[in-house]
Structure formats: structure tokens, C-alpha cells
Amino acid sequence: MMAQNTGSEPPYQTKLNNVRISKTHLPLKRNLEPVGNLKKILDDCHNYIYANEGLRKEQIFNEVLKLMFMKMVDEQLPSEICEFGITESEMEELSGGRKGRFIDRIQKLFTKTKEQFGGIFYVNGTLMLEPRSIAYVIDKLQNLSFTDTPIDVKGIAFQTFVHAHQRGERGEFFTPYPVVALCVGVLNPQYGEMVIDPACGSGLFLVQTMKHVWKQMDEQFEDSPRNSKRLLRSTYADSYIRGIDFNRDLVRVSKMHMMVYGNGHSGIFCANSLSPFDELRKQGEGIEPESFDILMTNPPFGTRAKIIEKNLLRQYSLGHKWSYDKNAGIWFQTGDLLKGQIPEVLFVERCLQLLKEGGRMAIVLPDGELTNLKSGYLREFILSHSRLVGIVSLPRETFTPYGTSIKASVVFLQKLSGDGLESTKKQDYPIMMVVSHKIGYDRKGSIIFRSDSKKQYTEFLQMASVDTDILDIVKAFQVFKKEFGIGF
């Protein structure tokens, strides 16, 4: 239930006895402490703004994130005194209807934030919140250190906050953490491999890939100084991680998500991933055919919208009509364009175009595209351009909390051509087929814990306490690949 402001005084004044706030002095950076429960703080901020400002949840989301990033920028500034703060005397000024020094200082900090994160915040953007709401959020955060807060604490809170405020009414629902863990675990990205998600949404595939490789790097460079490790992490994120999304707001969310973990936001671009490569090159460096070793994506589906632009359809085999030859038992492409094609089908072809020879791919697809008779041409196309390594059928409730009840599976492919592809056509080869029965939460998104667990809410995939079979499936894939000598 949302908090309600029933008193005459703003709620932030009731919090003054619970924080270290000075009458006249702003906090010193050396006195800041790590954040304990950032999720609760963000929830409190949302509730206050909701009760006092009347903004939509998307607007609240954007305004709170502006202030979060102002806090991050302030901690990086050389001054020993926090600009992101408010004194008791400044609060008294606000109570008296005077903005004074406080708002001037915060506006200057916001300008610095826009300068540093030009790709995230619009240059002409403004703070929409009333001064009292800004003061409330700053009061909640000013004595805390984002710099010293463990990465996962920030990441969990951010991802939870995103899911609460950004729902996929247009097929842009977010990929649940267990599905991301499945894909990252099976594909096992390595340092030096180029990774892309051409429908990156909130960036969870990219963040988890980054963390997966960082863990390898930390083990490899265990004895290196801390600053050297940070530089290596930053270099990896900037050099090897790429994401694209058509929705400008989601691109901003993805960039922010990467920044919460430290870096990598420069590789996220706003573009239509289905556009001709000449157009994509203008949007992002390195978005070229056959440039990526690993691709993980959950393209938009569960939507009635179709791609109807002829210039887009024309560049895809799957944008054309296909016909079935009963005698030969195969589908073949005709020269006629379709009137329209659903996005996820075109995404399959674009994803294979992006991969290098031998590149590894995980894509979430509706089960209908994998089983319906009318979709046989798509399966024909996939098997004509790649090796099918495995399919994991996901429980029906997997995407229900995220905006759609469509049953889906994760398809694992390896791009092949020439002799390698021909050999797969001429002989049978092993395929890993798995049914997941436990995703770890119910249809409402509530976590289901193992009966023997202590129910400790850690990041969803420490998953030590969560009742899911995802980690078992990852292990089974590793055994499968080793047993059959599959270089995947």
C-alpha cells in the first residue's frame, strides 16, 4: 500500500531524528556508510513522491534515477564535502517556502550529471520534482555511500525498481533472472569474446555476462592491485559488451544498469536492430555482420504488431513468403515479400547475421514458433544456417509476472556454414532437450523457496535458497557438451 501524507508537515521532517543531519554543515564523504537495504529506501522514495506529487510511475522512476545518478556523480567529485545533501537549516527554508541555497546547489549538480552521462540524461532535461520531494530523497540517501556499497546490493535494488516501474505492455517485458542465468551459464562467455544483445531491454543479459567474466578475471589476476583490477574490468565492459534496443527509455535504463555495476554503458545504443547494417553502423561502433562470438536475447513477442516496411522485409529471407514442397519434404523461399512479419521471426535471422562462424547463441522464442505447422519454414531456416545444440522448455509461469502468459523456450544455436553445416545435414547429431519444471517463483512473481532453506533473499541466483532446477540444467548442459565433444 502506498504511503499517505495526512499531516500538515511534509513526512521528511519526521525522519530527522533517525539520520545524522547537521544544522549548518553538509555531510563529509569520509563519514558516508555503505547502503544496507537500498530497495526499501527506493520504495520509501517512491511512496512519498506518489502520495505528494501525483506523478505516473514511469515519471517517478525517471526522477528517482536522476537523483541516484546525481549521488553517484557527487561521490566521484574531488571535494571532501557532499554537494548531494541537505542541512536542517535548508529544510527549514523549504518549510518556509524558500528554495535558497539548496535548490541552486542541486541544480548545479544535476548539470554536472548531465554532462557526465550525456547518453543517459537529455541535455535539456530538468528535475520535475518539487523541492520538498527532492529534499526527501536526498535526506534518505545523503549519509550513504554508493561507492562503498557492494555491487550486488545496488544491482538487486536497481533491477527490482526497474521491474516495478517498467512493464512490458508492448511486448517489451523483461527477462527473468533465472532465464538469464540459464543462458549465461550454458554459453559460458570468456574474456576476449564479443557479446551482444540486440533487444537488450534493461540490460540484464549484459550485466550478468559482465559479472560472469569479471569473476574469471578476478581469479586470473588474483594478486593484482585493486585499481588494476578495476581498470581491467572497465576495459572489458567497454570493449566487449554491446546492446541495442529500439525503445529510448529502455536504452537509458540499460545504460544506468551498467553504470550501477561500474561501466559498460558506452556500448549500449538506441536503434532498430532489424534495420539495414548501413543504418546500424551510424548508431553504434562495431555493429557489423559476423562480428560477435556470443549473442543472448529475448526479442519482443506476445505482441500483435508486425513489421510491414518493405525495405526491412526485403533484406530478410524470413521477410519473404515460403512454400512447402510435399514431394521433397522441405520449405523453400519464394521471391514474394510478405505483407508483414512478426518481430521475433526476423530477429532469428538478424541474430545469425550478427554471429561469427562458430558463434554461440541463446534466444527466447514462443513455443508456437517451434511447434506450429505454419512455422515450419522458420525451423527450416534455423537448421539451414546453424546447429541446434539444445532447447529448454520453460514453465508456463515464467513470463506471467512480466506481462505475458505465452509459453516459451530457450533455443541454443551455433552458427555454422560450409562443410560444418553440411555435415550436420547429412547425419544425425545429439541435441539437448530439457523441460524446466521449477523457475523459482509463482505466477505473481513471488519467490518459492526450498523447503529446507533459511529463506535468505540474496540475488536471485545465488539461488541457493530458491526452489528452481535452472542450475541443474546448466550443469547437465556442461556434461552434455563434454560427453559429445561439442565446442559450444
194-239: pLDDT as tens digits: 999 999 988 999 999 999 999 999 888 887 887 788 888 888 988 9
59 domain-assigned: yes
Residue 176 pLDDT exceeds 60 = yes
- Most confident residue range from 135-139, 150-154, 175-179, 255-259: 135-139
4 domain-assigned: no
164 or 144, which is more confident: 144
Same structural domain, 84 and 222: no
Least confident of 108-117, 311-320, 338-347, 379-388: 108-117
Instruction: Give percent of the chain above pLDDT 90.
Output: 55
Same structural domain, 126 and 160: no
Residue 181 pLDDT exceeds 90 = yes
Specify the pLDDT at position 462: 57
Residue 5 pLDDT exceeds 50 = no
Return d(Cα 32, Cα 134) in angstroms, integer: 19
CATH number for the domain spanning 206: value is 3.40.50.150
Same structural domain, 139 and 161: no
Specify the pLDDT at position 173: 56
Residue 475 pLDDT exceeds 70 = yes
73 or 455, which is more confident: 73
37-93: pLDDT as tens digits: 888 898 899 999 999 998 888 889 889 989 988 998 999 899 999 999 999 989 888
2 domain-assigned: no
Give the model's confidence band at 22: pLDDT under 50 very low, under 70 low, under 90 confident, else very high: low
324-362: pLDDT as tens digits: 999 988 999 999 999 999 999 999 999 999 999 999 999
Number of domains into which the chain is organized: 2
Q: Is 341 exposed, middle or buried (0-12, 13-18, 19+ CB in 10 A)?
A: buried
Residue 12 pLDDT exceeds 60 = no
Residue 158 pLDDT exceeds 60 = yes
435 domain-assigned: yes
Chosen domain end from 107, 124, 149:
149
Average pLDDT of the residues of the chain: 86
Least confident of 136-150, 226-240, 467-481: 226-240
User: Can you give the pTM of this predicted structure?
Assistant: 0.84
Residue 141 pLDDT exceeds 70 = yes
Least confident of 5-9, 337-341, 410-414: 5-9
Specify the pLDDT at position 372: 92
Residue 292 pLDDT exceeds 80 = yes
Chosen domain end from 149, 165, 192:
149
Sign of CA dihedral 192, 198, 203, 208: negative
Same structural domain, 417 and 472: yes
Chosen domain end from 149, 173, 188:
149
3 domain-assigned: no
Same structural domain, 132 and 156: no
Same structural domain, 49 and 30: yes
| Mean pLDDT across 425-444 | 90
Same structural domain, 145 and 156: no
Residue 456 pLDDT exceeds 80 = no
104 domain-assigned: yes
Same structural domain, 167 and 143: no
Same structural domain, 119 and 226: no
Specify the pLDDT at position 371: 92
Specify the pLDDT at position 15: 40
Same structural domain, 81 and 159: no
| Mean pLDDT across 471-479 | 96
- Most confident residue range from 168-182, 433-447, 460-474: 433-447
Same structural domain, 356 and 479: yes
Same structural domain, 178 and 82: no
177 or 436, which is more confident: 436
Domain limits for position 392: 152-483
